[in-house]
Structure 1
Amino acid sequence: MHISIKEIEVRYAETDQMGVVYHSNYLVWMELGRTQLIEDLGFNYASMEKEGVISPVIDIQASYKHPVRYGEKAVVKTWIDEYDGLRVVYGYEIFNGSGELALTGSSRHVCVKKDSFRPISIKRSYPDWHAAYMSAKAQPQSAKG
């Protein structure tokens, strides 16, 4: 499996009064991880949007383990956890500046036509993306660490 790595410098605006990253910012970091993964695989999500296709989140899970604090660099690891040609589940791990696992999560997506929200088959409409996702998902490698 291909694991994308995105380093994020924690900004003051992302924290609460205790200097801890506010919980909703992890969802933004998950999006940054997805974007990095797509780029690592040689694609650009914005080009898909220009063709009138979007990929909304239909489910999201997050489990918070340790805090990430202002002044640290967070590391977001992202991979394709499940993929069936229509739906994609991305897996995430976010680590704090000490290397502790701060969050585990997943997000489920489906590609739809922007104007009608009718689902489309990635396999049929974007065969290159399909092949890259199948390849990235199939490679054996641990996501941990």
Structure 2
Amino acid sequence: MPEPLATEITVRARYAETDAMGVVHHASYIVWLEEGRTELFRALGLPYADLEAAGYFVLLTDVQARYLSPARYDDRVIVRAEVAELRSRQIVFAYTLRMAESGTPLLSARSEHVLVARATGRPARWPPEVLERLRSVSGPK
């Protein structure tokens, strides 16, 4: 079984992403997860824009996050995303976020998504060529 492909991006906590105490607001992490999985799809040669142009949406159906330590304004955070599970209509991503300088773990998370046909709004199967590419890098089934 090949090692799952993971991408890592670095984000810097912006002032607008923090609360009155300068701590990154919990909702900001969810946005960073989206950035991570967007880059993962891009690294696979499957940019979201191309999937949408082909008539599909990848809809979020569940997200779970475990907050381990706070990030603060201007901190650099590494967002790691990988494909954890893959089914004919569903994909699950796993994430870890950590401080860029110290490596301190900030968050572990997973998100589940379903592929939907734009024309019908109904769940759809991954196109065979997309499914094959995703299978080549996905983690344990």
Decide: shared fold, TM above 0.5.
yes
Tell me the CA shift for residue 109 of structure 1.
Answer: 0.5
Whether contact under 8 Å (2:85, 2:139) holds in the other structure is no
The residue number in structure 1 matching 2:130 is: 129
TM-superposed deviation, 1:50: 2.0
Structure 1 unaligned blocks of 5 or more: 140-145
Contact 1:80 1:137 in 2 (8 A): yes
Cα distance in 2 between the residues matched to 1:116 and 1:131: 24
Paired with 1:52 and 1:137, the residues of 2 have a C-alpha distance of: 23
Provide the residue aligned with 1:143 in structure 2.
none
Partner in structure 1 of residue 25 of structure 2: 22
**2:24 alignment partner, SS class:** coil
**CA RMSD between the two structures:** 1.4
Shift of 1:138: 4.9
Query: 1:1-145 residue pairs with structure 2 within 5 A?
Result: 1-97=4-100, 98-122=102-126, 125=127, 127-138=128-139
Q: Is the 8 A contact 2:96 2:108 kept in 1?
A: yes
CA distance in 1, matches of 2:91, 2:30: 17
Matched residues in 1 for 2:79 and 2:19: separation? 20
C-alpha distance after superposition, 1:53-72 (max 9, x if no partner): 10110111011000011111
Equivalent AA in structure 1 for residue 90 of structure 2: R
Moved over 6 A (4+): none
Name the aligned partner's letter for residue 72 of structure 2.
Answer: R
Provide the secondary structure at the position in 2 that maps to 1:79.
strand
Q: Which runs of 5+ in 2 are unaligned?
A: none
Q: Which amino acid aligns with 2:125?
A: S
Identity of aligned residues (%): 35
Normalised to the residue count of structure 1, the TM-score between the two structures is 0.88
In structure 2, relative to structure 1, the CA distance for the partners of 1:31 and 1:136 (3 Å cut) is: same
TM-score (norm 2): 0.91
Matches of 2:139 and 2:60, distance apart in 1: 23
